[in-house]
Amino acid sequence: MQRMGFKTAILDADITGPSIPKAFGVNKTPEAEGDYLYPDETKTGIKIMSVNLLLDDETTPVLWRGPIIAGTVKQFYSDIIWGDVDYMFIDCPPGTGDVPLTIFQSIPIDGVVVVTTPQDLVSVIVGKAVHMADSMNIPVIGMIENMSYFECPDCGNKHYIFGKSRLEEVMKELYIGNAIRLPINPKLADLMDQGNVEDMNANADLQEMADLISSYDPDKL
Q: For 130-185, what is each residue's pLDDT tens digit?
A: 999 999 999 999 999 999 999 988 898 999 998 888 889 999 999 999 999 999 99
The answer, yes or no, to whether residue 45 has pLDDT greater than 60, is yes
Q: What share of the chain is helix, strand, coil (3-state, %, to 5)?
A: 35, 15, 45
pLDDT average, residue stretch 84-113: 92
Q: Are 150 and 161 in contact (CB under 8 A)?
A: yes
Quickly name the fold that domain 1-96 has.
Answer: Rossmann fold (3.40.50)
**What one-character DSSP code corresponds to residue 97?**
S
pTM above 0.85, yes or no: yes
Across 114-123, 167-176, 196-205, least confident range: 114-123
Determine the 3-state secondary structure of 215 from DSSP.
helix
Domain definitions of the chain by residue range? 1-96, 110-221
Sheet strands side by side (includes 47-49): 40-41, 47-49, 8-12, 87-91
Quickly name the fold that domain 110-221 has.
Answer: Rossmann fold (3.40.50)
Does this chain's domain 1-96 share its CATH topology with 110-221? Answer: yes
pLDDT of residue 221: 53
Q: Which of 26, 8, 40 is CA-nearest to residue 194?
A: 26
CA 193/CA 196 separation, integer angstroms: 8
